[in-house]
Amino acid sequence: MLLVFLLLFFKQTKMTDIRELNRKIEEESGFINTITEEISRVIVGQNHMVNSLLTGLLTGGHILLEGVPGLAKTLAVTSLAKIINAKFSRIQFTPDLLPADLLGTMIYNHKTGDFVTRKGPVFANFVLADEINRSPAKVQSALLEAMQEKQVTIGETTYKLEEPFLVLATQNPIEQEGTYPLPEAQVDRFMLKVIISYPSKSEEQIIIRQNIAKNYPEINTLLSVDDILRAKNLVKEVYLDEKIEKYIVDIVFASRTPENYGLKDFENYISFGASPRAGINLALAAKAYAFIQHRGAVFPEDVRAVCKDVMRHRIGLTYEAEAENITSEYIITEILNSVEVP
């Protein structure tokens, strides 16, 4: 009898805590609507891309954007940086780019006879790496330290990068001749890989109207970097139940051992499954997605909503899969249909 009473007591206390957390998150996440409304003044549609950028911002996760030119990728990033008054830099990756062009270098000062550090464009809150796959491995590996360790080494000195630090890299899926495919170790560092699609007819009509108008809307600064850092701490408080944790683990393991989840045919399609970073990022992205929806707890729908963006670049496909036009998105869809939802 005492055990039953204690279980009911702890359950009731837990429910009270979650209700209180929901109320707190609902109040504190109001600025999300402010950001999306301000961005919508210059970005027509592309809600998924905007939510993905917010997810990266709230978790400190880097984002790989893939889409044809002209889909407002750069405009979305610059607009978000201006809204929160953050430092923004854009680096155009080209075959002749050097690591020093990205990180900075030591410059000899003739007046003092000393070497001084000249910091590169990576020292910013938002770093837009445009067409990242056009530069050789040396440049990409130089960016890797900044992405993973949030620090840069120039000469013998290591510099910490200011928070928030977010790398947003773009890839053009059309012109792949003469490009340098990103190594798997670097691809795995990106929290999300977001595929950006064309706007609808009605959206494109609004885009044309805006761009030929006499006055183009300008973005206003509405928040500060400190507001975002405070929000990042709030996202960590979003409740993630143990059942949701097991659900995330099952999704990741289904990509490694599909035969254990009724997907035996996929053994021939998957060369390697999602890494442990997939599970970590799936949990973080689901928390951020719940926060964006003004909720204090993660639901299975939140995990499903971010799953493709988190995992599509972490599943290796075999030649058989490519021959049969089996994509990672298709595999993820089948995994989500097969894994039991809590």
**Domain coordinates in residue numbering, the chain:** 31-214+223-227, 238-338
The answer as to CATH 3.40.50.300 being correct for domain 31-214+223-227 is: yes
Look up residue 44 and give its two tokens: 């027509």
| pLDDT, tens digit, 9 for 90 and up, residues 209-246 | 888 877 777 888 888 888 888 888 888 889 898 999 99
**Cβ(340)–Cβ(250) under 8 Å?**
yes
Residues 6+ apart with CB under 8 A from 325: none
Q: Rounded CA gap, 36 and 32, in Å?
A: 6
The pLDDT value given to residue 303? 94
Look up residue 210 and give its two tokens: 């805006």
Identical fold, 31-214+223-227 and 238-338: no
Q: What does pTM read for this prediction?
A: 0.84
What does pLDDT average to over the chain? 83
Q: Rounded CA gap, 296 and 302, in Å?
A: 12
| pLDDT, tens digit, 9 for 90 and up, residues 71-123 | 778 888 888 888 888 888 888 888 888 888 888 887 877 777 777 778 888 88
Q: Please, what CATH class does the domain formed by 238-338 belong to?
A: mainly alpha
Q: Rounded CA gap, 253 and 80, in Å?
A: 35
Q: Rounded CA gap, 223 and 221, in Å?
A: 6
